[in-house]
């Protein structure tokens, strides 16, 4: 028998993690060698086991999956990581692929799509399911929000007024108003509520 593909699974939901592991272990060419539920687990388990492929959740209780991707791939760019997430915003997908993920999968996709992506990653290929490829092809070039604009947007999401934002960030109300206008312009919306809604839908702003 050919050598098995060694997989590490990182997901903070034990039922999801163990369910995927059980399915994969039934495959003759795949072996799940470790599981974890945090970003710290992801870093430690990858460095310890050096798996052929890691299947990685995007949002973890102690950090972002994208940061795990960047850290591991900065150490060794040839490492192979596949994202499995419930989040389908175009910015979530873009950031993961930009960071070096070999594929981006949604948890409502078929088991066959997961298998295909893992085997492709092991072979050194990048494989995007049709739905993800379509989302990326439809993604318009974006002007990214600046760090200060992100600070303002987070406070808008918490229901803060311009006056409250100004006090929290040490800015004048006029400066905050300018930031809000820039945010709405970049997100192509007409009001603050829509800005928060769009930012959440696209994965620019995390829940």
Do the beta carbons of residue 39 and residue 45 sit within 8 Å?
no
Residue 81 has what pLDDT? 97
Tokens matching residue 127: 């494989």
Q: What is the largest CA-CA distance in the chain?
A: 69
> 5-138 maps to which CATH number?
3.40.50.2300
Structure tokens at 110: 């078929």
> Of the candidates 175, 179, 94, 170, which has an alpha carbon nearest to the alpha carbon of residue 135?
94
Contacts of 68 (CB under 8 A, 6+ apart): 10, 39, 42, 43, 56, 60, 81
Q: Which two tokens stand for residue 166?
A: 């100004």
Fold match, 5-138 / 147-202:
no
The residues near 76 (Cβ < 8 Å, ≥ 6 apart) are none
Residue that the structure tokens 């310890």 belong to: 48
For the chain, the structural domain boundaries read 5-138, 147-202
Q: Which CATH class is domain 147-202?
A: mainly alpha
List per-residue pLDDT tens for the chain, 207 residues long: 568 999 999 999 999 999 999 999 999 999 999 999 999 999 999 999 999 999 999 989 998 899 999 999 999 999 999 999 998 888 888 889 989 999 999 999 999 999 999 999 999 999 889 889 888 877 766 678 888 999 999 999 999 999 999 999 999 999 999 999 999 988 888 899 989 988 887 878 876
Note the pLDDT of residue 70.
94
* pLDDT value for 140: 66
* pTM for this prediction: 0.73
Looking at the DSSP assignment, which residues form a beta bridge with residue 75?
Answer: none
């Amino acid at each position: 028998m050919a050598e098995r593909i060694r997989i590490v699974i990182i997901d903070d939901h034990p039922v999801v993690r163990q369910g995927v592991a059980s399915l994969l272990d039934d495959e003759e060419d795949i072996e799940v060698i470790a599981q974890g539920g945090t970003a710290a687990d992801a870093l430690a388990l990858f460095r310890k086991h050096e798996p052929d492929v890691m299947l990685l959740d995007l949002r973890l209780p102690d950090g972002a999956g994208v940061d795990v991707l960047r850290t591991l791939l900065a150490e060794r760019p040839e490492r192979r990581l596949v994202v499995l997430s419930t989040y389908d915003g175009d910015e979530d997908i873009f950031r993961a692929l930009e960071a070096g993920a070999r594929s981006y999968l949604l948890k409502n996709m078929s088991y066959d799509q997961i298998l295909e992506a893992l085997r492709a990653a092991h072979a050194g290929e990048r494989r995007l399911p049709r739905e993800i490829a379509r989302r990326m092809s439809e993604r318009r070039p974006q002007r990214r929000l600046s760090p200060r604009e992100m600070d303002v947007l987070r406070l808008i999401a918490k229901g803060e007024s311009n006056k409250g934002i100004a006090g929290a960030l040490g800015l004048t109300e006029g400066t905050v108003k300018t930031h809000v206008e820039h945010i709405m312009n970049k997100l192509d919306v007409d009001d603050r509520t829509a800005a928060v809604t769009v930012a959440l839908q696209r994965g620019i702003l995390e829940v």
